[in-house]
Amino acid sequence: MRYVIVIMCGTLFLVWDVLYNQGDAIGRTVTEVHRVVRMVTG
């Protein structure tokens, strides 16, 4: 049951982001993760 709630929250966030921000939060997150990975790996 816990996993269902986590998946539902993730899905709702993705839908909200696409509808209201045109995917802006997702794009920013991907950019930040990419930058941190580059920093860590050198």
> Residue ranges per domain, the chain?
2-41
**pLDDT for the residue 12:** 92
- Tell me how far apart the alpha carbons of residues 11 and 42 are, in angstroms, rounded to a whole number: 33
- Tell me how far apart the alpha carbons of residues 2 and 40 are, in angstroms, rounded to a whole number: 32
pTM over 0.95: no
| Number of Cβ atoms within 10 Å of the Cβ of 41 | 6
**pLDDT for the residue 24:** 82
**pLDDT for the residue 15:** 87
**pLDDT for the residue 3:** 92
Q: What is the pLDDT of residues 1-42, one digit of tens each?
A: 889 999 999 899 888 888 887 878 778 888 898 999 999 997
DSSP sequence for 1-42 = -HHHHHHHHHHHHHHHHHHHHTTHHHHHHHHHHHHHHHHHH-
**pLDDT for the residue 9:** 93
